[in-house]
Amino acid sequence: MYGVYSEHAEAVRQYSSQLWSELDVGKMMSGTEAILTKLRKLKQLKLLPVYELVEKEIQGFFNSLPLMKELKSEALRCAPATYPLESHASSTVPDLMT
């Protein structure tokens, strides 16, 4: 079990050292899924409390990956607003300093 957790921890360390623009979320998902599969093959260890902790850690990371994928989508890289923000700021934000 330690080997599986170590593999996950090393993968996360490698991902965290990459720039956001360089992250391949698909690769992260397939790699994490492979690690989860290795963990689940350790059926004889499922009754140990540490198994549940390791599974929750890896599954939690895996569950966060679809959000990362959405955050990296091109749809979020939309064109800037066609109007300057400053022209609307004075009419919508009250002046609290007076």
What is this structure's pTM? 0.72
Per-residue pLDDT at 82:
54
Per-residue pLDDT at 2:
92
Q: Is the pLDDT of residue 22 over 80?
A: yes
d(CA 10, CA 52): 20
Among the residues of 1-98, which ranges form H helices?
2-16, 25-40, 49-71, 86-92
